[in-house]
Amino acid sequence: MLNGIFRKIIGKGGDSSKDVAKKRLKFALVYDRLDVSDDVLEDLQRDIVEVISRYFEIDKDGLSLDIRESGDLSALVLNTPILSKRRDTS
Amino acid sequence: MKGKIVVITSGKGGVGKTTATASIGSALALEGNRVLLVDMDIGLRNLDVVMGLENRIVFNIVDIVKGKCKIGQAAIKDRRIDNLFLIPASQSDNKDVITPEEMIRLAEKLREEFDFILMDCPAGIEKGFENAVVAADEAVVICAPEVSSIRDADRIIGLLFSKSITPKLVVNRIVPEMVERGDMLSHEDVVDVLSIDLIGLVEMDDQVVVSANMGTPPVLQKNSKAGGAFRRIAMRLNGNEDLPLVVPQVPNRFWKKLGRKIGLGK
């Protein structure tokens, strides 16, 4: 209760530990529910890199592939630094 | 008589499945039902000690399934509560010794003799889970308000849905003080994440440890908060579905009262 009063006075402050727990849980469950294994993600990443590499020079080490939850949907998010356009595609 | 088979499960171990099975079963029997508790944790039996019936074991579930004895010979009758029976797990076999087909056959016979058959499911999602769930009509998922328990519960809920069972959720070991200061997920948070219907909220209760020490189910202990919660869960299972949920509350203390007076807090 005292804690509650302090919080009211000081303002909300950062997330409480249960908010952190809930966020982490929701994220973990997105992966669990899609039932995507690390192997599948790795294969997917390899194939995507292969396709993109036909058109762009990319930094393969800087590439990240994530599944994120936005609202009710799960989104596949790919982030990759592009070094340059391949000449032969012009 | 056509009884109902209810599996009590959680995925993760140590969240209170066995205590819940013992308590809900005892409460159902106190309400006048003929109740059988079945320990499905073959190789790691525990329901017998929680019920205080460990000294009276002669036969076990494996003996019944393999035809070494009759159901009536293996089912231990509780002497404190009328119409309450326990079939213990075998301690020497492993989980693969029983097949799902054998469980389905056994379940048919059990439904003839009891109103409620509560299966105490082992932790995990392997053969033991399969056997406990294969003949179930209903399922109760026990979950503590912590990340690992909720994650495993989600997996179990998915598996139950794939077997066309819609489970009900018990949030166990709620510490209202921690929920209030934002250090424990509330039951609303848990339901938000798992999206299934609640059948009960159980507060963390030291009496549960005392009960287990003594081998008496918490529902027989007077003034046990957990005991009361399990009794209400039993009533809901027994057809009283509209019984309102009781949310564990922080006891009214001086500061809380003062806080309210000066317009802080709820």
> In the 3-class helix/strand/coil scheme, how is chain B assigned residue by residue?
CCCEEEEEECCCCCCCHHHHHHHHHHHHHHCCCCEEEEECCCCCCCHHHHCCCHHHCCCCHHHHHCCCCCHHHHCEECCCCCCEEEECCCCCCCHHHCCHHHHHHHHHHHHHHCCEEEEECCCCCCHHHHHHHCCCCEEEEEECCCHHHHHHHHHHHHHHHHCCCCCEEEEEEECHHHHHCCCCCCHHHHHHHHCCCEEEEEECCCHHHHHHHHCCCHHHCCCCHHHHHHHHHHHHHCCCCCCCCCCCCCCCCHHHHHHHHCCCCC
- pLDDT of A83 reads 85
Residues of B in contact with A29 (CB under 8 A): 151, 154, 193
**pLDDT score, position B227:** 95
Cβ neighbours of residue B90 closer than 8 Å, sequence gap 6 or more: B42, B43, B45, B60, B61, B62, B63, B97
Mean pLDDT of chain B: 94
> What stretches in chain A show pLDDT beneath 50?
none
Tell me whether residues A18 and B179 touch, CB distance under 8 A: yes
Question: Which residue among A8, A22, A32 sits closest to B189, beta carbon to beta carbon?
Answer: A22
Q: How far is A2 from chain B (nearest CA, A)?
A: 7
What is the C-alpha radius of gyration for chain A, rounded to an integer number of angstroms? 20
pLDDT at B38 over 70: yes
B255 → closest Cβ in A1, A25, A26: A1
Phi and psi of A67, rounded to 5°? -110, 125
Distance from CA of B161 to the nearest CA of A (A): 13
Closest CB from A4, A21, A33 relative to B158 = A33
Cβ burial, residue B110 (10 Å; 0-12/13-18/19+)? buried
What's the confidence (pLDDT) of residue A5? 55
- Do residues B151 and A28 make contact, with C-beta atoms less than 8 angstroms apart? yes
Which chain A residues are closer than 8 Å to B182 by Cβ?
Answer: 16-19
**Cα of A52 to nearest chain B Cα, Å:** 35
Cβ neighbors of B168 (< 8 A, separation 6 or more) are B138, B139, B140, B141, B196, B197, B198, B199
CATH class for the domain made up of B4-261:
alpha beta
Is pLDDT above 80 for B94? yes
Q: What is the pLDDT of residues B200-216, one digit of tens each?
A: 999 999 999 999 999 99
Taking 80 as the threshold, does the pLDDT of residue B9 lie above it? yes
Chain-chain contact of B154 with A21 (C-beta, under 8 angstroms): no
Q: Which residue of B146, B193, B253 is in closest CB contact with A26?
A: B193
B181, A16: Cβ pair inside 8 Å? yes
CB contact under 8 A, B150 and A25: yes
Is the confidence metric ipTM above 0.90 for this complex?
A: no
Query: Are B196 and B161 in contact, with CB atoms under 8 Å apart?
Result: no
Q: Dump pLDDT digits (tens) for B13-37.
A: 999 999 999 999 999 999 999 999 9
- Measured CA to CA, the distance from residue B157 to residue B45 in angstroms comes to 24
The helix-helix angle for B147-162 and A17-34 (nearest 10°) equals 30
Phi, psi of B56 (to 5 degrees): -110, 15
Query: Residue holding tokens 């809380």?
Result: B256
Q: What pLDDT score was predicted for residue A78?
A: 83
Contact between chains at A1 and B189 (C-beta distance less than 8 A): no
Residue matched to tokens 């592009």:
A82
Predicted local distance difference test score (pLDDT) of residue A7: 55
Q: Residue A18: what are its φ and ψ, rounded to 5°?
A: -70, -30
Answer whether B161 touches A (CB < 8 Å).
Answer: no
Other CB atoms within 10 Å distance of the CB of residue B184: 22
Exposure b/e, B53-92, CB count within 10 A at least 16 = b: bbeebebbbbbbbeeeeebeebbbebeebebbbbbbbbee
Reported as a single tens digit per residue, the pLDDT across B42-69 is: 999 999 999 999 999 999 999 999 999 9
Task: State which residue of chain A sits closest to B146, comparing Cα positions.
Answer: A21
Q: How far is Cα A63 from Cα A81, in angstroms, rounded to an integer?
A: 7
Alpha-carbon torsion angle B54, B57, B59, B61, nearest 10:
-30
Residues of chain B with Cβ-Cβ distance to A69 below 8 Å are none
| Option in A4, A17, A29 nearest B193 (CB) | A29
Collect all residues of chain A within an 8 Å Cβ-Cβ radius of residue B150: 25
- pLDDT for the residue numbered B135: 94
pLDDT digits (tens, 9 = 90+) for B145-164: 999 999 999 999 999 999 99
Question: Residue B57 has what pLDDT?
Answer: 96
- From residue B11, alpha-carbon distances to B3, B139, B142 in Å are 25, 12, 9
Question: Residue B259: its chain A contacts at CB < 8 A?
Answer: 1, 4-5
- Contacts with B255 from chain A: Cβ below 8 Å: 1-2
Q: Which chain B residues are within 8 Å of A28, Cβ to Cβ?
A: 147, 151
